[in-house]
Amino acid sequence: MKTDNIYDIDLTKLQKKVKDNLKDKRYIHTIGVRYTAASLAMTYGADITKAQIAGILHDCAKSMSDEEILIYALEHDIEVNESSKVAPNNLLHAPVGAHLAKHKYKIKDEEILSAIRWHTTGRADMNLLEKIIFIADYIEPNRKPIDSIIKARREAFKNLDNAVLTELESTINYLESDEKKAKSFDKFTMEAYNFYKTINKR
């Protein structure tokens, strides 16, 4: 598989390689993210190939246990903050996944790697591909259609920033719903929320 040029990558082979490391349910989700990301990329004029690669690889670290992902992060100088220690896989599978995408799957494109890195927490002022993967992960068709997801699905193909804000609001409400969940509240999520709340015009 050639990876110096992302357009030489056989996406079917890449997807199959990822499948070997994911449980069936996670793989089905991954396919959903790939094609939702491609649809959003077509809608907003982003690079469709990059969107698909990021979609295929966004959860490539998700099968790791909390202990495994913590050890991997520490061994590879990936930041582990206090919230990451509370929910290691939830918060570290994105940065660890970006590292795996680069070193295991040989993806060199920094835009793709960044989209994988930020797909869980989001961040303030995300670029277009980052927003696409952030939203595609949330609204892909295999997700249970709770109210916030239904709303984000309606918004995603009309105003991407509105959909981002909807997802962030839902995440914050969930994390603030009890004391234990609140301990896994990542600072980047709040920074993203404050940014998109400020620019939102809805």
Domain ranges for the chain, please list them: 6-196
Q: What is the pLDDT of residue 2?
A: 43
CA–chain centroid gap for 173, Å, is: 19
pTM (whole model) above 0.75: yes
pLDDT digits (tens, 9 = 90+) for 125-172: 999 999 999 999 999 999 999 999 999 999 999 999 999 999 999 999
Look over the chain and give the mean of its residue pLDDT values, rounded to a whole number: 95
Query: How large is the average pLDDT for residues 167-193?
Result: 89
- The topology under which CATH files domain 6-196 is Hypothetical protein af1432 (1.10.3210)
- Least confident range from 57-71, 115-129, 183-197: namely 183-197
DSSP states of 11-60: HHHHHHHHHTTS-HHHHHHHHHHHHHHHHHHHHHT--HHHHHHHHHHTTT
Answer yes or no: is pLDDT of 202 > 90.
no
